[in-house]
Amino acid sequence: MNQRSSLRVVAGMTLLLSASFVTHAQAQVAATAPDARVETALKAAQLGFLIDEGDFRLDYKVDATRSQRVWIASATTSLPPLEIRDVWSVAARGKGTVPADLAVHLLQENVRMVLGAWQVNQGKDEYLVVFSAQVNADADAAALREVIEVVMYSADRIEKELSGKDEF
C-alpha cells in the first residue's frame, strides 16, 4: 500500500469514527405523551392544534386558496447542552425514488434557507419531500411560532412550484 492509499484509509477511518461518535453523542428522547412544553407554547401563541400519535399537528390557512399542515415532534434529540425538536411539513410525494433533477433542485434550495432544510424521506415504493427545521425544545411561543411559519411557507411554496396542487 502506497502512502497516498494509507492516507485515504486513515482519513476514511477517522471519518467513520467521527460519525460514530456523533451518532452516539446525540440521544433521541422518545415521547410517550405529547410534550407539555409544546402545548404551553402553542396555547400562548394562540395556535390551534391536534395531537396525533403524540405529535402536534397544525393546519394553517396560507391564503384564501391554500393550506399547509405542519407537525411538531414531541420527541426531542439531546446533544448536550442542547435539546431540540423537529418541526416539519410535507411538500410533495412521489412513486419510486426521487428524481435526480428534483434532488438537485432541493439541494440548491437549501443554500438559500436560513433556518431549516429540504429532506427526502425515501420509503420502499415512494418518497416524501419534507421541509424540516429544528427548534429548542424549550422554545417560547414567539420562537416556536416563527419556526412553524418558516416551515409552513417554505413547504407550501415548493408544493405549489412542483405540482400547483394543495394536497398537504
Contacts of 144 (CB under 8 A, 6+ apart): 38, 41, 42, 45, 72, 87, 135
Range(s) of the domain holding residue 80: 27-163
Write out pLDDT tens, residues 58-111.
999 999 899 999 999 999 999 899 999 999 999 999 999 999 999 999 999 999
Residue 118: CATH number of its domain: 3.30.1460.10
Indicate whether 132 belongs to any domain. yes
Indicate whether 18 belongs to any domain. no
Indicate whether 47 belongs to any domain. yes
- Residue 154 Ramachandran class (φ > 0 left, ψ -120 to 50 alpha, else beta): alpha
- E strand or H helix at 18: helix 3-25
3-state secondary structure of 44: helix
Write out pLDDT tens, residues 23-58.
344 555 555 689 999 999 999 999 999 999 999 999
With 0.85 as the threshold, say if the pTM is over it: no
User: What pLDDT score was predicted for residue 31?
Assistant: 56
Indicate whether 13 belongs to any domain. no
Domains of the chain: total:
1
